[in-house]
Amino acid sequence: MSTAYEIQFFPTPEYDASNLAGSTLILPGPNSIGNVAQLAIDILIATLSYTRIGYLDSPYLTPVVGNDAYAEDKLEGHVNTACEVYQGKTPSGTFTILQLRSPTVKGKGIQFSKALTQWIHTSKFAEILLITGADGARRTDAQL
């Protein structure tokens, strides 16, 4: 499904995109300090064994490709792209996880944020959880 903000979700063949509605979206803050948010997302996906349900494509993300980050046998799996989408169910509900594997294209962060916001609204998520990292050196002595 395309939007005016140039982002598109490509679900896997067996996934119905309408199942995004009502789930809780968990995503990393883009360009977080030390990629802490992306690492936390990796731990969630690997620990909870969530299923890859598709990927987002946007001209505002730096294109990257790599081998399946979660495959136990590196000879099998699928190709990972710049923005993967995973989903799983727990007793607390259905969770959709967005994993950003690349930074935004220089000067295109605002456009990407608008595109992502539009996709989030269109997908009708019930809640959104943003994971990010902060630089501890920015704290004052009183905060230590």
Where does residue 141 rank: exposed (0-12), middle (13-18), buried (19+ CB within 10 A)? exposed
Cβ count near 97 (within 10 Å): 25
**Residue 29 DSSP code:** P
Cα radius of gyration (the chain): 16
Per-residue pLDDT of the chain (144 residues; tens, 9 = 90+): 444 558 999 999 999 999 999 999 999 986 677 888 999 999 999 999 899 999 999 999 998 888 777 777 766 667 888 999 999 999 999 999 999 988 889 999 899 999 999 999 999 999 999 998 877 777 788 877
Q: Which domains does the chain carry?
A: 8-134 (3.40.50.10900)
Please tell me the total number of residues recorded for the chain in this structure.
144
CB 66 within 8 A of CB 79: yes
23 residue type, one letter: S
CB 50 within 8 A of CB 97: yes
- Give the global pTM: 0.86
